[in-house]
Structure formats: structure tokens, C-alpha cells
Amino acid sequence: MQLISGAAVAEKVLEECRRDIAALAAVGKKPGLAVVLIGDDPASRAYVRSKDKKCRDLGLHSVKLELPASTTQEEVLAHVHALNNDPAIHGILVQSPPPPHIDEAAIVRAIDPAKDVDGFHPVNVAKLALEDPTGFVPCTPLGCQRLLMDAGIETKGANAVVLGRSMIVGKPMALLLMAKGPGGDATVTVAHSRTQDLAFITQKADIIIAAIGRPEFLKAEHVREGAVVIDVGINRVEAPGTEKGYKLVGDVAFEEVAPKCKAITPVPGGVGPMTIAMLMANTIKACKQS
Amino acid sequence: MQLISGAAVAEKVLEECRRDIAALAAVGKKPGLAVVLIGDDPASRAYVRSKDKKCRDLGLHSVKLELPASTTQEEVLAHVHALNNDPAIHGILVQSPPPPHIDEAAIVRAIDPAKDVDGFHPVNVAKLALEDPTGFVPCTPLGCQRLLMDAGIETKGANAVVLGRSMIVGKPMALLLMAKGPGGDATVTVAHSRTQDLAFITQKADIIIAAIGRPEFLKAEHVREGAVVIDVGINRVEAPGTEKGYKLVGDVAFEEVAPKCKAITPVPGGVGPMTIAMLMANTIKACKQS
């Protein structure tokens, strides 16, 4: 069984980023990422902080915009417009979820698609479906694809099952895997909460991408011998007796599934580090294309 | 075995169109469709003629723009811009394929998304993926979904296999079937030319949508007893001894597959009539939303 280390592949991606940043510096360009945080959700604050830190470590220009929870829709839009027009900024990300009075979809649509490094703008959604390589693909599924490719997993002709049909992970993952070319050409099944007899579906899979947000949902009985499992889930579950009182687990019951697998990602240390690495890569791509 | 008559369901859709047209007339509106044909491909001419006739039969305003094969990209774009600005036109369709010197994707992007009744504009591609009901869905997959719903086939929880991954049929069909709600909620697999052991995939399917453009490709061995088969293919094959010298067949070997099916569409008379009916329905929707 091969343990796919997201941390190691992410480090490789970041090394490529460093090379790209050096090459861009040689022509007087410096990629810039702006992260907009509205409100004071602790998890969101932690994410934004780690993105900011990763940017600075790499030598990217990083702008962290922390707005109070009382910020109005119009004020957020005004900030987005200013960032759209700021030539030092190549990537814009509005941390999800914003407070409930904010229309998140409208904010995403206001971001210049050429700076939409999260890949959630409709223009980039369409580019993914249309297999247009100038678009931005959401960081998590892009990271999953990179993990597969880096681990030497052949997707062409493979039976891939994506669990989950969200626009954050499930659908873009499916579109990536069914696209023509390296990392694609898979026969892709999208399963979800309405799927009947999930084990019947997943037992046929060469590759399973689990992105349903249910702790340790995928069991040994769901997986055939020799499958490759990518676990997108990051779920906090109670762990009495530990220092923090909780632990992080994926959507996969790792202990029982891993022994059956040809390859599997752990949680933490799997998909997680890839998401932020692909955000850096997307920001550099945006800078190159600007 | 239930033979799903596309002709009958299309007539029902057109009856709904007539009611909508009458209701729109009562408020002084008349839906208008413009079809742009570049060059003189006989099959394209025939399609455009039948669309124009169907429009007139229904009482839609129909504009048929026949441009010579020598028309330049800029001239086509100028026509599209004029149609975008014409308040009597609610739907614009550029007949595919245009001559090779025309950049078809650029023409599609030039159409006002609110008038893109073919559903090929990136804005509408994204709306389909994002499950935004204000978008336009390509007519053929939309017609297939309607056929399933009208025939009383439950898609929720069904294992649906879409053969083909084009942006005309395969991908939009998959997105429709996996979306939340009636006619969706299926567990969807997209298979294509790179799929290995296709029969292994299709034999598990409750619903098969065949859209690969290969005459009589899907055989009895691919289909389980009780499956529902929607045949999108329209292939011209030689038929020596017949008056025309050819006949139309689908992507499904109908004679051998039909006896195993719970329900199946014929070719011709299946998906074909639905495509044009959904084009009329999309044009009326565009008029309502204008």
C-alpha cells in the first residue's frame, strides 16, 4: 500500500512555484494574492492566516483584507472592484463562508475571472467544462488530480468514482477526470446522497475521490482490493481524553480501508496541503497570463 | 417494452409552446428566433429550413439568415451583434458546422447569453453546472431529459450511463442527470472512447443515453434486462436497394437491444423531434425572460 503524501507533493508544487516566481522576478513581475475575510469565524481566520503566511514564505505579494462582520454587500463589492483594478494583485479570493447577509455568488461573479484563482466564477466553471486551459480550476480538485498524477496513477481508461456533486469539489473533479489528456480520460461516475447501493458503485472503482463531508463514511466494504482512494474530507470529531478534545478525520475510515488500497491519502497531510499549494500555483498562473 | 415516441412527446411540448405563445400575445409579445446559416451544406440547409418551418407553424417570428460560404468572421460577428440588439429576436442560433475559416467558438461567445437558445455560450454552460434555472440547456440533452420524465422513468437514484463526453450532448446530459430535483438526482457515469470494457459499465445501467455517433454501436450484450435506452445517434448508413440508397440508424442496434429494454427510443422518431421542440421551448423561455 502506497501512502500518498500530500505534504511531499505540495512541497514539490511549491518548489515549482519558487522557480516560476524567480523567472517572473527576472522580468519585473511579482505575483500578488488578495484574500478577503469578512467577519471573525475562527476557522476562516486560521485559513486566511495560513494562506497569507504561505504567500510570504514563497515571496508572493500578499494582501489580507479583514473586514468586520457588519460590512455591507456594497462595501465588499467596492473592495473587489478595487482589487480587480489593482495591477499588483493577480489573484483574489473571498474566504467562504461570508456572513449570512452577504450574497456570496454575487461577490464571486464580481471578481475579474482572470483573477479568480479559486475557480468559482462562472467563466472559469465554463472553461473547465469546455476544457479551456486558460481557466482556473478550483484548488482542491486540481490538487487531487495532481496527487494522482504525481503518484503515477493512470487515470486514462480508469473507472473513477467521485463521491459528492458540489461545485467546490465533486463536479469540477468529475470534469477534470473526464477531460481529454493526462490526468483525465477516466470513465467517471458521480455518486451522491441520492445514490442507491453506494457499495455497488464504489466496489467497481479503480479510483475513488471522497468529498461528502461525512466523517469516516467510506468503509472497507465500499472499496475493492487495489483501489486508489483520495480523501478530501476534513471532519472534526470529538476525541475525549486528547489535549484538544477533538481530532481530524477524513471521509474515509482510514484504518480499515487503507489495507485494501493500492494507494491512499491520509488525513491530515493528504489533500489539505495540496489545496493551498494549488492556490499559489493558480496565482502564479494568473500573473503569467496577465 | 415501451417504445418512447419522441414525435408524441415533441407534439406535447409544442402544444405547451402554443399555449405560451398565446399568453405572450395577450401581453403584446411574440417570440422571435433567428437562425444563421453560413455556406450551403445541404444537411445544414435542410435543418435550417425545418427550424424555420416549425417556427412559422407555431406562430413564432422567424428570421432565416443565409450567408454565403465566403462570409468573413467579422461579417458574421456584425450580423450576430445586430441580432443581439434586435428587440424582435429572442433566440439566436448559428447553424453548426460553419465553414472552416469561421471561428465557431468566437461566434458563440458573441451571442448575447440571454438569446443563446442553443445553450452553448459559456455563461449558459456555467449556469447548467451551477444548476441556475435561468440558463439555457442544449436542446438535445434537454429533450432527452424530457423524454425520460414524460415516459415516467424515475431518474432519482437511478444508475445512468451517458456514452459520449461532448459539450453538445454528453457533458450537459450528465450535468442535467446529476442535478438536484426532478429529472435529476441520478448516479451518473460518463463513458467515452477511452473507456475500457464498456459492457462492464453499461450492464449496470438503469438508464443509458447513447451519444457517440457510431451506427448501431450499442449491442444487446451491453444492456441489462429492463434498462431504459435513449438513442441520440442519427447516422446515415448505406442501404443498397432502397430508393434513397441509405437509411438512418441510431447509436443503438435497435432490433437486438429493444427486446431487453423496459423502454427505448426509436431512430428516427425518438430524440430527433425533441431537439427542435426544445429549441422552440427555449426561444419562448428567452422571450419570457426578456
**Whole-angstrom distance, CA of residue A131 vs CA of residue A150:** 21
Q: Is A20 a catalytic residue?
A: no
Q: Is B181 labelled a binding residue?
A: no
Contact A32, A62 (CB under 8 A): yes
C-alpha closest to that of A264 among A280, A247, A251: A251
CA distances from A98 to A78, A106, A157, B168 (A): 16, 12, 40, 36
Q: Flag if A190 and B194 touch (Cβ within 8 Å).
A: no
Cβ-proximal residues to A63 (8 Å cutoff; 6+ apart), any chain: A32, A33, A34, A35, A83, A89
- Residue A288 bears catalytic tag: no
Nearest alpha carbon to residue A267 among A259, A281, A280, A255: A255
Q: Where are the alpha helices (DSSP H) in chain B?
A: 6-26, 42-58, 73-84, 104-110, 122-129, 139-150, 170-178, 198-202, 254-257, 271-289
Q: Are strands B91-94 and B32-38 parallel, antiparallel or unpaired?
A: parallel
Cell numbers for B249: 440508424
Distances from the Cα of A30 to the Cα of A14, A50, A89, A286, B195, angstroms: 15, 20, 9, 11, 43
Supply B135's cell numbers: 440558463
Q: Can you tell me the distance from the alpha carbon of B151 to that of B173, in angstroms, rounded to the nearest whole number?
A: 17
Contact between B126 and A123 using a beta-carbon 8 Å cutoff: yes
Please tell me which residue in B20, B51, B112, B231 is annotated as part of the active site: B51
DSSP reduced 3-state for B42: helix
What does A102-156 look like in DSSP terms, one character per residue? S-HHHHHHHS-GGG-TT--SHHHHHHHHTT-TTS---HHHHHHHHHHHHTT---T
Catalytic residue list contains B145: no
Give the residue from A121, A178, A197, A203 with the most B CB atoms within 10 Å of its CB, the best one to mutate. A178
The reported pLDDT for the residue numbered B57 is 95
CA distance B51 to A17: 52
| Whether the Cβ atoms of residue A25 and residue A81 lie closer than 8 Å to each other | no
CB contact under 8 A, A178 and B190: yes
d(CA B145, CA B171): 13
- Could you report the per-residue pLDDT of A122-150, keeping only the tens digit for each? 999 999 999 999 999 999 999 999 999 99
How far apart, in whole angstroms, are the C-alpha atoms of residue A165 and residue A128? 15
Partnered with residue A216 across adjacent β-strands are none
List b or e across A243-253, with b for residues whose CB sees 16 or more CB atoms inside 10 angstroms: eeeeebbbbbb
Are B103 and B74 in contact by the 8 Å Cβ rule? The answer is no
Rounded to an integer, what distance in angstroms lies between the CA atom of residue B10 and that of residue B18? Answer: 12
Q: Which long-range contacts (C-beta less than 8 Å, at least 24 apart) are formed by A77-82?
A: A77/A106, A77/A107, A77/A110, A79/A36, A80/A36, A80/A107, A80/A110, A80/A111, A81/A110
Q: How far apart are CA A136 and CA A120, in angstroms?
A: 8
Between the two ends of chain B, the Cα-to-Cα distance in Å is 43
B163 by DSSP, 3-state: which?
Answer: strand
Which of A126, A167, A189 is closest, CB to CB, to B125?
A126
The owner of cell 442553443 is: B118
User: Which set of grid coordinates corresponds to residue B142?
Assistant: 434537454
pLDDT of B84: 98
Residue of B nearest to A190 (CA): B188
Which stretches of chain A score pLDDT less than 50?
A: none
User: How far B160 CA sits from the closest chain A CA (Å)?
Assistant: 9
B20, B54, B95, B150: which is the annotated catalytic residue? B95
Residues in chain B within 8 Å Cβ distance of A187: 189-192, 194-196, 201
Residue B53 pLDDT = 94
Burial class (CB in 10 A: 0-12, 13-18, 19+), B154: middle
Q: How far apart are CA A17 and CA B87, in angstroms?
A: 50
Domains, in order of start, for chain B: 29-122 (3.40.50.10860), 139-273 (3.40.50.720)
- Nine cell digits for residue A270: 493528504
Exposure of B241 by Cβ count < 10 A (0-12 exposed, 13-18 middle, 19+ buried)?
exposed
Cross-chain residue pair B190–A201, CB shorter than 8 Å: no
Compute the CA torsion angle B243, B245, B249, B255 (nearest 10 deg). Answer: 70
The cell numbers describing A96, all together, are 467562504
CA dihedral defined by B224, B229, B233, B237, rounded to 10 degrees? 60
Task: Give CA–CA dist A152/A101, Å, rounded.
Answer: 45
Flag if B129 and A130 touch (Cβ within 8 Å). Answer: no
Extract the residue ranges of chain B whose pLDDT is less than 70: none
**Grid cell listed for B248:** 438512418
